[in-house]
Amino acid sequence: MIGFHLLRNRKGCTRYYRVDVAYNLFGEYSVLREWGLRGRPGAGTGNRHVTWFSNLRDACLAAETWQKRAMRRGYDRLIND
């Protein structure tokens, strides 16, 4: 599995953005994106979206695109992944 986690801290509110690329039993690649609040009651109720790809190259390109978009919105890459 390939993945990365991003964090953004503004006005005392920490948000997370996570992207994971994984291979499934059906020979497809999935890209899971998950985002939401971190460190608050109910924080585990973030949003999730799964997109399916037929090859690893397309899945990785999509994951990289979503990472770049998140970083433009102020998220920083989490070093201690």
pLDDT digits (tens, 9 = 90+) for 17-42: 889 999 988 889 999 999 888 766 55
How remote is the C-alpha of 27 from its chain's centroid?
Answer: 21
Whether the per-residue pLDDT at 52 is higher than 90: the answer is: yes
pLDDT tens digits along 2-14: 677 777 887 777 8
The number of domains in the chain is 1
The Cβ-side half-sphere exposure at 13, using a 13 Å CA radius, reads: 7
* Percent of the chain surpassing pLDDT 90: 35
| DSSP code of residue 67 | H
DSSP H stretches of helix in the chain: 56-72
Q: Does 45 have pLDDT greater than 70?
A: no
pLDDT at 39: 67
Range of the domain at 27: 2-77
Here the CATH number for the domain that contains residue 38 is 3.10.450
Q: Which of 27, 18, 16, 29 is nearest to 60 (CA)?
A: 29
